[in-house]
Structure 1
């Protein structure tokens, strides 16, 4: 029986330096050759994914569920309103917080992101196991992907979600109060330590997007398998039939998993695909 496989990206399909392990690419290629469908299910928007050197896939869920694509066909796309984007942009700028707008057309950042982003992304990479040299390289690559905008040019109408640097955790708590009609998450750092907050449309989760895609495909939930490494992936686990946590994953995702594989850079995806008989 063919399966529908959902892969988180950072820390699952690729490592925290945005490198795709050869064994992971081989596993995906072999699984698809065996008749299984493989989709990424990520917080990244399409523009960020297109900067990554990934293997061939059947489609993607991006923006933590704001965007669903199957073989190039847009199944669903639900972003933030221009009014919400303006409110978030002004709120972050008033607090001097670096942020970037995640759109399918590109990643757009403010002045403070240029100042605060490099150090924050170094912390992110180091927290995931990179040494200082590799962390600096990963940070530079990430920052080079931004389009810098100022003033009203940041008031866009094509934004999936917005990520902003946390000067302290209180920024995230304050964002929940300031934007009660939106979904507020955190991400980054070692384990579940928060470096970023993000804000996206209400009702948009990885779980919802998977349900939308399954309905479009006419597929059954019992044929689904998900792979993740962080708390944000728990919504995938809520709706998929079988769930795999990466060895490099956080405590919460491991506790919720049916199976824990090895680390992303220790053939984690390949080993799990073999364990589940997705590949020979």
Structure 2
């Protein structure tokens, strides 16, 4: 009898993810229209689907551009930790920081000299806002960011002081520009020695070369003894591109831009239609067995 043909991007029969890597904003959380922020609420259908994956033995790993202190509250909302489970692995700051929780313990961090790249961007956007994480507190910022865009406190600091030493991630934000402006500028500048990601708005994340959610997730998979083909990753933003390409199955949210959708193996429903639940229901049903 001929073997069943598996469509491109589809796992083989009997496959079920051992790691489920989830972006936060625009994937687990819905965007607030026009606010540059998300509702800090987990939809019940998403919560239930994530817990079916946990109950089936999968490791759920949050992977976000957020700093560590902006991610622990989401782990709490999802109730990913507890006396019956191991401490979580979390990929923060677009892969530059990997930590365990609870309590928050940084186990890996990549840093770089961001000053040259920041200066190059500010030559073209002199009024742009600059921020770096002040761990456990919030961010050091050159000026206040729009409400809801950063978690924690904002500590006003001169730009040269912000980038005076090694950092794991720098945010540059220009509320008067567009995402397309930043895509074009970053491509034109090259930003040698630095990797970058442009967000939904004129928001630029600078990171050490070679660092992404994929590199952070690869470290976690190695520590957990999980092979790359057994990783499912779900995301919606440009900072998810490397992770979606790296994972054994990379899934884009339905509202993602074309660049992200094209990088993925599959596209699920949008965040407004519980896309995470739709994808997880394929592999974990209400009894904890594979749905296929």
Question: Do these two structures clear the TM 0.5 threshold for a shared fold by scoring above it?
Answer: yes
Q: Could you list the per-position Cα deviations for residues 205-240 of structure 1 after superposition, in whole angstroms to 9, with x for gaps in the alignment?
A: 111112222222221112110101123212012211
Q: Which runs of 5+ in 1 are unaligned?
A: 119-139, 190-194
| TM-score (normalizing by structure 1) | 0.76
Q: 2:44 aligns with which of 22, 27, 30?
A: 22
1:154 equivalent in alignment to 2:177:
no
| Whole-angstrom distance in 1 between the partners of 2:71 and 2:26 | 14
Assess, with a 3 A threshold, how the Cα gap between structure 1 residues 243 and 279 changes in structure 2: closer, same or farther: farther
When Rg is computed on C-alpha atoms for both structures, the one with the higher figure is 2
Q: 1:183 aligns with which of 189, 195, 211?
A: 195
Q: How does 1:87-98 map to 2 (within 5 A)?
A: 88=118, 92=122, 95-98=126-129
Q: How does 1:220-259 map to 2 (within 5 A)?
A: 220-259=227-266
User: For this pair of structures, how many residues does the alignment match?
Assistant: 248
Assess, with a 3 A threshold, how the Cα gap between structure 1 residues 160 and 251 changes in structure 2: closer, same or farther: same
Q: 2:276 aligns with which of 253, 258, 269?
A: 269
| Whole-angstrom distance in 2 between the partners of 1:276 and 1:108 | 42
| TM-score (normalizing by structure 2) | 0.73
Q: How does 1:1-280 map to 2 (within 5 A)?
A: 3-16=18-31, 17-19=38-40, 20-50=42-72, 52=74, 54-57=77-80, 58-71=88-101, 72-81=104-113, 84-85=114-115, 88=118, 92=122, 95-105=126-136, 106-111=138-143, 114=144, 117-118=145-146, 140-142=147-149, 145-151=152-158, 154-155=162-163, 157=165, 159-166=167-174, 167-168=176-177, 177=189, 179-189=191-201, 195-277=202-284, 280=287
Greater helix proportion = 1
1:66 is displaced (CA, Å) by 0.3
Verify the 8 A CA contact 1:89 1:155 in the aligned structure 2.
no
Assess, with a 3 A threshold, how the Cα gap between structure 1 residues 260 and 159 changes in structure 2: closer, same or farther: same
Assess, with a 3 A threshold, how the Cα gap between structure 1 residues 65 and 279 changes in structure 2: closer, same or farther: farther
What is the RMSD of the two structures over their aligned residues, measured on CA atoms? 2.9
Q: Which runs of 5+ in 2 are unaligned?
A: 1-15, 32-37, 81-87, 288-292
